[in-house]
Chains A and B, each alone.
Chain A
């Protein structure tokens, strides 16, 4: 089956004053199929939100891109702003934003924002608009009784649902959720991501960008771990969070840092994106590093590492 989104060799660099470059995304490739949820996880500054901006055509002027990001035949990296504004954002990519309160227009009620999107994206006209807005709200479990409220009158959870309802209006085949759970308490995180998962159904795809590993574990089919601008592990979620666990030492360290696991930090900090080493970018922090790691490891069998953790349960091949 053809993927909904196919990202191949995507790189994003920023030209800085003084001629230096920041490599924010380097050689990232993945496919995303209908009905699938891919969680892109990593710490702040690893490049995951730049990747999201690239997919939405929202990179700043000084960005240079390479590779491709095909969404049903359209390359999101080379599409012009007019195409992106008219036929991509909202229509082919629905964005569930990081802070819904900031994304919603503060001076307008939820109802009027839903109606506007319905007019623009779905061509709904009065008198059908009112009922359509109520339907759109219901899809995201936003209570009809709150439709005439302003964003600041909503709890964090309801604001998130309002933003989700807006993101769903265009029936976009790709949903992109950028840190949708930041600052929400655990129950609300669970509810928010469960709802997102439900909206994926069979014919949409969800790219969940998050630093919240518990949220990723809850709904992702596959996980991509980003470190210092590269995807260092790309694998099935159950194998990653369960047995045999992550293969890349960074991904393993990240999971072990969770308070429900070892709660031990990875020593050190990631390298600067202006001065990435030629070899493995994790080498300075890695207890498995050796001479081989001075060469850049490719993504082989789901992990970009010269000495990945192996599945001990796997019987050795004869």
Chain B
């Protein structure tokens, strides 16, 4: 279970973007969080993925309260999450080939040698063939780069996936394709999902349930 308990967070303590928010996702379940652009739902996604320290409240991951944020989060908690953001170009190191990009989290946890065994299959799973994975971000399209970012999010086999507007820039077919990869992974590994977005039709089709930002925050 992933729980946000009474979380207050933002970038200015005097004016938090959310106050006292509770959100619970059962193990293996998926929740779609809907809200207009710029409302602060990305901040919530970052808090849930231990990437942003809340001003108050708790994040509890499978019964364990979060014990740190960003690189100070303990490894077993940090690696419980795979995160995909809206803009692949902002989250991909332009110097890395897609192969190295996908392997990045393995390297970060000292498991680089596993990359050779894991990355090709994972790349194929997100639809990236041999000819593409040797390229660097500027040599591929946004859609292809987002496929690589999704593979990167899956490479440590996380128990939780956080997808923040993962498909907002993508065409219908690439969107359907990435969502199918996520759902296939979840079916295999029983992972839970928080999908944040503004497209009601998409999130209702994708997730077990949806909740609206205004209902979470009481329209703050």
Contact = CB atoms under 8 A, between A and B. Distances in A.
B172 A257 contact: yes
A60 interface: no
B42 to A, nearest CB: 11
A80 interface: no
Nearest to B177: A265
Nearest to A45: B141
Given A184-B37, A185-B36, A260 B127 contact: no
A266 interface: yes
A263 B143 contact: no
Nearest to A266: B173
Nearest to B141: A45
Interface in A172-220: 182-188, 211, 213-214
B205 A44 contact: no
Nearest first, the 4 closest Cβ-Cβ pairs linking A and B are A43-B171, A265-B177, A185-B198, A259-B205
B205 A253 contact: no
A156 B37 contact: yes
Given A254-B173, A263-B205, A43 B127 contact: no
B169 to A, nearest CB: 7
B144 interface: yes
B199 interface: yes
A155 interface: yes
A245 to B, nearest CB: 14
Interface in A247-270: 253-255, 257-260, 263-266, 268-269
Contacts of A254: 171-173
Interface residues of B, number: 31
Interface string A40-75: 001111000000000000000000000000000000
B189 interface: no
B67 interface: no
Most chain A CB within a 10 A radius of its CB, from B36, B142, B176, B201: B176
Contacts of A185: 35-37, 198-199
B171 A186 contact: no
A258 B175 CA distance: 8
Interface of A: 42-45, 155-156, 182-188, 211, 213-214, 253-255, 257-260, 263-266, 268-269
Interface string B175-188: 11101100000000
Contacts of A257: 171-173, 175-177
A255 B36 contact: no
B210 interface: no
A260 B201 contact: yes
Given A186-B198, A263-B179, A269-B144, A44 B169 contact: yes
Given A182-B169, A253-B173, 20 more contacts: A43-B170, A45-B141, A155-B38, A156-B38, A182-B168, A183-B86, A211-B172, A254-B173, A257-B175, A257-B176, A258-B201, A259-B199, A259-B202, A260-B201, A260-B205, A265-B175, A265-B176, A265-B180, A266-B173, A269-B127
Contacts of B173: 43, 253-254, 257, 265-266
Nearest to B129: A269
Nearest to A273: B141
Contacts of B176: 257-259, 263-265
Interface string B138-175: 00011110000000000000000000010011111111
Contacts of A265: 173-177, 180
A146 to B, nearest CB: 16
A187 B35 CA distance: 11
B69 interface: no
